[in-house]
Amino acid sequence: MNKVALVTGGSRGIGLGIAKALAAGGFNLVINGVRPDDTVSSTLEELHKLGTQVEYCQGDISIASDRDKIVSSVKEKFGALHVLVNNAGVAPLVRSDVLETTEESFDRVLSINLKGPYFLCQAAANWMIEQKKTDPLFTGCIINVSSVSAIVASVNRGEYCISKAGIAMTTQLFAVRLGEFDIPVFEVQPGIISTDMTAAVKEKYDKLLANGLTVQNRWGFPEDVGKAVAALASGNFQFSTGQVVMVDGGLTLRRM
């Protein structure tokens, strides 16, 4: 029987790259997003062609009732969850200097990027513990997709950086808590990835890349992140809980 993965924000961008890699690896999928069902039909068809079962569950992960609905949909369709990929996230609507960040923007970004994933970790962890107690051979993991912004300060989007730093600690907390159940928790930190989120700053980063911002002189792509997540989800890193995988083309390497 195929293992089951839940990927939040899985209908486009990095999330879709992850979903494709997991589907190619034989996982059945539930992908979550905020867009209406009829807008993701072509995406679902694309994933179906990879030979996997795919369900879409619309919902806002910052809302408790929507999180409950998402987890319930996985239970109803597949009756099991082996991998949670917390990928959904948003950038600030307006990039503002930290001296001008509004509480409205801070609350929005933190609710979606940190509160939602934290409590999805909690829900998935409790369910995985139940599955492990029922079946000692059960293997599962949680993979949190954060950003290099967890460790690299960008003063024009402080709320985003703080949310990703919070995801880094969330990973460590759940890694420690789930250690006794042999359920690893990982963090993936993408760098500059070509998605609709970065389209508005493409010219800026094109120039930075041309001037040597990264060691590997190119944009990253969703499939780069997808391959890393699929490798972690495969179970080959069972004894590496709490570890961070950088997918940043060497952006954060120290250089002279």
Residue 163 identity: S
SS3 category, 66 = helix
Which runs of consecutive H residues, i.e. helices, occur in 11-115? Answer: 13-24, 41-48, 64-78, 103-110
What is the distance between the alpha carbons of residues 239 and 246, in angstroms, rounded to a whole number? Answer: 18
Task: Please list the active-site residues.
Answer: 160
What is the distance between the alpha carbons of residues 55 and 71, in angstroms, rounded to a whole number? Answer: 12
What is the distance between the alpha carbons of residues 42 and 101, in angstroms, rounded to a whole number? Answer: 37
Do residues 30 and 73 make contact, with C-beta atoms less than 8 angstroms apart?
A: yes
CA distances from 219 to 29, 111, 114, 194, 256 (A): 27, 28, 26, 6, 22
Secondary element (H or E) of residue 187:
strand 185-190
Secondary element (H or E) of residue 86:
strand 83-86
What is the distance between the alpha carbons of residues 216 and 227, in angstroms, rounded to a whole number? Answer: 17
What is the distance between the alpha carbons of residues 50 and 230, in angstroms, rounded to a whole number? Answer: 14
Terminus-to-terminus CA distance in the chain, angstroms? 50
